[in-house]
Structure 1
Amino acid sequence: MKGVLVYALVLIPLVACNPSPGGVSSEGFQLKDGYEINLDSYTSPVEEFFQYVTDWKGREMIAFHVRKANTIKLYDLKTGDLAEELKYSENGPNALPNIYDFHIHDQDHIFLNKRYHYTLYLVDSDFNIKNEFYFLEDDEKIDPNSGIPLSGDSFLLVFNEKELFRKFGDQIIVNGVPDKNADYSSSYEVNCLLVNLNLGSKEIKRLLGYPKTMKGNAWGVFHANLYSDFIESSNKFLLSYAADESLYLSDYKDQYLEKFAAHPKNFKRIEPLPGVAKNNDRAYLSHYNEQYIFGSVLYDEYRDLVYRVALEPNPDYGDVFVKDPLYKPRNMVVMAFDPDQDYKKVAEMRLVQNGKGVYLDRCFVNEKGLNITYVDLENEDKLYFKTFLVE
């Protein structure tokens, strides 16, 4: 579907930092704590590019790429205040134009994705370019109208709070999105959903594609997404396909080691895209709004739990896409699974829209628990993270 973005920001309302929680139905999850971020006038609470940074100069940070200001802003998670601004230029000898995704590994390793130019930069905190990686073959021809390579075998790097970016020595593993129309089944025969890049040799290896359950059908752009995380203790990837009710575990070798059921109560299986909805934005949205969709998967190393987000159908959304993550958000279900009990579901909570604010499927795990983004619609100068524990 060409009129809709490649990513889906999925939201749900619940409680502001101080307002009383409303519309929460929970078995096993308890709201325990939270964080409050004091946003400056340039930072939106729904900035598209966001990262939880575990250690920046000894502090936990929330980082936003504010594209309109060519700046990465770092907010201290503990105090909620703006701690540092990293500004880059789109002009000059170290120009960095058209940057979208970013990932902070540490002060000397910041990755900037020039997404639609198939280029990844490695810079330091002063934006000195340390290395540059190109994800097209030298002889690749580009369509002058669409800007898409003509080979049909290219992919875009995409990384954010839901999509994997992991550095292992001189290698990184990151999510990719095929340059194919997700309205057709051929888009699901690819092997570029996880990609390995050697930072030294610049060699690129494609690692992973779609499971058998999704092949042979088309699912549409939102249900084509893969969300992922990594379990360091077992060297396994956690894979959450937006259209698949199971969670998958995989190694580095394009092998699915195991899968387990990971869907909410009262779940209705997601249907493939009907022919009438192909290349038809209104028909696609009408179909999409009737379906569940799966979002983030996160591993909690502190409590040895796996979390998965599911978004409920939203038939009242309408058949016109609105690029505002606060517009008619879906209700959200958050589930927890225990690896020591064969990934048995041990907790589930449902967060229902109440009109006062929205939760977004922008989550991170730290020592305190599972933290979920919340936007108070009456005070968008603040950004809240609600902290939940399984008890």
Structure 2
Amino acid sequence: MNNMKFTFISVFILGLFSCAEKKGEEISSTFREVHSYQLNLDRFTSPAEDYYQYIKNWKGQEAYAFHVMGKEEIKLYNLGNGALIETLAYGDNQPNLQSGIHDFYILNEDSIFLNRRRAYKVYLINQEFEIVKAMDFMGKNDEIDKNTGWPKSKETFMPVWSRNRFFRKIGDKIFVSGAPNMKATSIDATNTKTLLNSYSLGTEEITPLLGYPEKMQGKIWGEFFDMVSSDYSQEEDFFVHSYAADGRVYIMDQAMHVIHDFEAFPKGYKNVPPLTVKEIESTDALSSHWQDNDLFGSIHWDPYRKLIYRIMEEPNVSYNKDMLLDPLERARNMVVMAFDTKQDYRKVAEMRLKKSEKGIYLDRCFVNEKGFNITYVDLENEDKLYFKTFLVE
């Protein structure tokens, strides 16, 4: 971690003016919509489900899956014809998993990971819904504080991989995002090293790997601007990380040493200010801070075109307190950027996707052979869910 800290310090010194628009910046390509997928959702599946996954091959079909909480089911839809392929009713078939499951990850037909967050456990089940392995993320000497409901140790983290956070099996390890065991309005929260962690399937050893850049440490960002989104290149064995409040993107190896970093923000981007002590004492001020500033979202590696895509959500000038509870109501205009690794990570394309009374784009994206796919919700027909496919040309 010392190497990473040194690199982050260097990045900060060299990048003091990183969020000023580059003079003479030229964008050589554009995003073009080339295709559209349509899913015909059943009455139990919302177009704004929080837990979802693109699956390249489910029993020979390209699929998209949702976890429908409350029903303890994972539903898989065929991307080709939009029909429901299969419902995995794990709750009906596995009594030990009938409540508390949030995140899921389908590795293949016989390996599905289910996350019981508040129990600090991740379960691996097979196609017969048998528990193959239970992974415990509670420290061996730790326990839950009865007063707070949180683990007593600050080293313990909650495995979480919704909201574009990360989960992946790489070799004999699981790499998983972790929610620090600290309030997001605490200065200490930025000292964590548990934003990404590895879990050895053989030894069960848990290793914290990723913290915040030096310039974000010692400041208060709140629960939305303290997030990091990640992706992984299997072919070239590197991670790509995007912090919600940082204009740079970081390329790292499995030990989280920085291989390369670069400016990755759109025209007109303004630095996100940290929260003040006065603001963290006000719920209204916290909401305003979230909605009044640019927010970097998901990041995606495109192995077919050797591009990196980064999403930024623009400020929502028309928000109110009530809409914050509804993911469709609180949706914001998005800027989508593409960076070419073959051109020294230069930004080659940028587009703005605006919400309207008819429909909105959501930061729920995936890459496949056709291109970069972005969720679109038709507000006049929420039984359909669309993915608009874009190519950089």
Instruction: State TM-score, norm by structure 2.
Output: 0.90
CA deviation vs aligned residue, 1:146-197 (integer Å, no higher than 9, x gap): 3111222221111137222221232111111101111122101111111101
CA distance in 1, matches of 2:170, 2:368: 21
Is the CA contact (8 Å cut-off) linking 2:242 and 2:250 kept in structure 1? Answer: yes
| Equivalent position of 1:97 in the other structure | 99
| Equivalent position of 2:312 in the other structure | 310
Select 1:322's aligned residue among 324, 329, 351.
324
| Equivalent position of 1:14 in the other structure | none
What secondary structure sits across from 1:180 in the alignment? Answer: coil
Q: Which runs of 5+ in 1 are unaligned?
A: 1-25
| Equivalent position of 2:231 in the other structure | 229
Select 1:276's aligned residue among 269, 275, 278.
278
Aligned alpha-carbon RMSD (Å):
1.6
Q: Which runs of 5+ in 2 are unaligned?
A: 1-27
What secondary structure sits across from 1:42 in the alignment? Answer: coil
Q: Which has the higher contact order (CA 8 A, sep 6+)?
A: 1
Residue identity over aligned pairs, in percent, reads: 47
Matched residue type, 1:318: N
What secondary structure sits across from 2:285 in the alignment? Answer: helix
CA distance in 2, matches of 1:169, 1:255: 19
CA distance in 1, matches of 2:330, 2:119: 33
What secondary structure sits across from 1:125 in the alignment? Answer: coil
Q: Kindly state the Cα deviation for residue 67 of structure 1 after the two structures are TM-superposed.
A: 1.0
CA shift in 2, pair 1:121/1:355, >3 Å = same
Q: Where in structure 2 are the equivalents of 1:95-134 lying within 5 Å?
A: 95-134=97-136
Q: Kindly state the Cα deviation for residue 328 of structure 1 after the two structures are TM-superposed.
A: 3.6
Select 1:155's aligned residue among 135, 154, 157.
157
| Equivalent position of 1:54 in the other structure | 56
CA distance in 1, matches of 2:137, 2:336: 35
CA distance in 2, matches of 1:268, 1:262: 12
Q: Where in structure 2 are the equivalents of 1:350-389 lying within 5 Å?
A: 350-389=352-391
Runs of 4+ deviating beyond 3 Å: 90-96
CA distance in 1, matches of 2:323, 2:359: 20
Higher mean alpha-carbon deviation, 88-97 vs 289-298, is at: 88-97
Matched residue type, 1:258: H
Is the CA contact (8 Å cut-off) linking 2:354 and 2:360 kept in structure 1? Answer: no
| Equivalent position of 1:253 in the other structure | 255
2:290 aligned with 1:288: yes
2:209 aligned with 1:217: no
Higher mean alpha-carbon deviation, 74-83 vs 95-104, is at: 95-104
| Equivalent position of 2:22 in the other structure | none
CA distance in 1, matches of 2:216, 2:356: 34
Q: Where in structure 2 are the equivalents of 1:61-80 lying within 5 Å?
A: 61-80=63-82
| Equivalent position of 2:344 in the other structure | 342
Matched residue type, 1:110: I
Select 2:170's aligned residue among 152, 168, 171.
168
CA shift in 2, pair 1:62/1:161, >3 Å = farther
Q: Kindly state the Cα deviation for residue 93 of structure 1 after the two structures are TM-superposed.
A: 4.9
| Equivalent position of 1:13 in the other structure | none
Matched residue type, 1:197: Y
Q: Kindly state the Cα deviation for residue 282 of structure 1 after the two structures are TM-superposed.
A: 1.1
Matched pairs, number: 366
